Amino acid sequence: MTITTCVFDAYGTLFDVAAAARAAAAEPGNEALTGTWPKLASDWRHKQLQYTWLRAITGAHTDFWEVTQNGLDWAMEAAELNDPQLRERLLALYWELASFPEVPKMLADLGQEGKSSAILSNGSPEMLAGAVESAGIGEYLDEVLSVESVGVFKPHRTVYDMVCNRFDCAPSEVLFVSSNGWDAAAATGYGFTTAWVNRAKEPVDRLPWVPQHILSDLTTIPDLARDL
C-alpha cells in the first residue's frame, strides 16, 4: 500500500538533543562542561528515556518536562556538578533545540510529494511547540501529536493509535521514523513501515521486531516514502 503519511519522533530524530549541553559548554562561565558535556548529554538522554519506560510500566505517568528535569538532575549529580544556575541554563536551552541540518528541506520535499507529515512524541505539547517554533519547521508539519493525549509514554500501542486516528489511515500507509531503535522496532510490531535513523551506528536492539530500514540521517526519507 502507498505511503500517505510520514510520522517522526521528535527528540533525537528531528531535534538534536545534545545541542543544549553543547551550547551551554560554549558559553562563558560554563567551563566545567568543557570536555565533559558529551557524557552529560548522553547520561541526560539515557535517564530521560529510562524514566519514561519505568513510568509507563508502573502506571506513574507524568509529563515529559518532569522526566527531562529528573534526567538532568541525575546526570549532573553523576558529573559532580552542583550548580543551580547551570541547571537552569541547560533546561532553558532544551526548549530551543536545533533541528538537524537536513530536516527543513526533507520535510519540504515530503510536502511537495503530497505526503502528510507529523510528529509523534513523548514531549509535552508546550515543549514540542517551543522546539518546532525554535527550529522554524511548523509550516511543514500537518500535526504535532503528544502522548499527553493518552497519558502513557511510548512504546505503548495507544500512542501509535493516535496516528491512524488523526489521519484516518491504515498502519500500512504510515512511514514511521525514529532515532530510537526500540521505538522503530515497536512501531514495526504495530504495523507501521519503519525507518531507524541510526546516526550513532549502534547495534540493532534484541527485540521481537526490527526496524525495516536503517538510515544514517533523514536526507533520503522523501525518496523512501515515494518508492515504498
Active site residues: 9
- CA atoms of 166 and 206, how far apart (whole Å): 31
List residues bridging with 144 in a β-sheet. Answer: 119
C-alpha cell at 196: 531507524
Q: Could you list the beta-strand ranges (E) of 68-208.
A: 116-121, 143-146, 174-178, 193-197
Q: At 70, which helix (H) or strand (E)?
A: helix 64-78
H/E/C letters for each residue in 29-62? CCHHHCCCHHHHHHHHHHHHHHHHHHHHHHCCCC
Between CA 146 and CA 159 the distance in angstroms is 8
Separation CA 176–CA 208 (nearest Å): 17
